[in-house]
Amino acid sequence: MAEQKTKVLGAVFYPGFELLDMFGPLEMFGHLTGVVEIKTIAQHAGPVASAQGPQAVAEHGFDDCPKLDLILVPGGIGSRTEVENPAMLGFLEKCAGEAEIAMTVCTGTALLAQTGVLDGRRATTNKAWFGWVASCGPKVEWVKEARWVEDGKFVTSSGVCAGIDMALAVIQRLAGAQVSETLATQTEYEWHRDASWDPFAKVHGLV
């Protein structure tokens, strides 16, 4: 049997990204040694400030980004600016087209929606900002009540902590249910396994 190729996950940063949107999922993916290798990407290599202040370091800029098998796009207040950034949108459109799995958390879904790659597909996002994100993709089939949504290779999640649940679901795809269960236990994380579980849709008047 041929040895499984390690998949490269591109974590895409931008100024004003939400810390837990990115580092919650990366905590989970980072345990998959030999299965997933994480690369940090931004428009330009170097430090990128989060919405909360702490900086992350992008190893690669768009120009020298390696081939990505998986991509992860966080939300955050900076997404309001990035939906108008042609460099970001062009990069995401290209990467989403080539990737095996494209993941977004929270308002990060607005960025993929703005490129058009989600047109005709089911997707969700943070329920507090649902209207704005939906306006970025009028041809997307928006799901108002969902913790996360899987439509082919596109996997989109609700707000912030929901990204961890989404990540564990994707890891189940890549490495099996037992690996996801073990990760949830080791990190003492209460994994919501039901993608339709979404009390926040009601809180924000969507259902």
Helix (H, G, I), strand (E, B) or coil at 71: strand
Is 65 a catalytic site residue? no
Burial of 203 (0-12, 13-18, 19+ CB in 10 A): exposed
What sections of 39-116 are H helices per DSSP? Answer: 79-82, 86-98, 108-115
Q: Is residue 24 one of the residues assigned to a domain?
A: yes
Number of domains the chain contains:
1
Q: Is residue 85 one of the residues assigned to a domain?
A: yes
Per the structure, the complete domain to which residue 48 belongs is given by 7-203
Say which CATH number the domain at 134 has. Answer: 3.40.50.880
Per the residue annotation, which of 95, 106, 136, 161 is the catalytic one? 106
Q: Is residue 72 one of the residues assigned to a domain?
A: yes
Q: Is residue 190 one of the residues assigned to a domain?
A: yes
Strands (E), the chain: 7-12, 36-41, 46-49, 55-58, 70-73, 101-105, 122-123, 141-142, 148-151, 154-157
Model confidence, pTM: 0.96
Q: Which residues of the chain have pLDDT under 50?
A: 1-2
pLDDT of residue 1: 41
pLDDT of residue 3: 56
Q: Is residue 105 one of the residues assigned to a domain?
A: yes
Q: What is the mean pLDDT of the chain?
A: 97
What is the bridge-based pairing of β-strands 55-58 and 46-49? antiparallel
CB atoms within 10 A of CB 196: 12
Q: Is residue 2 one of the residues assigned to a domain?
A: no
pLDDT of residue 2: 47
Q: Is residue 1 one of the residues assigned to a domain?
A: no
Q: Is residue 78 one of the residues assigned to a domain?
A: yes
Report the C-alpha gap between 134 and 144 in whole angstroms. 10
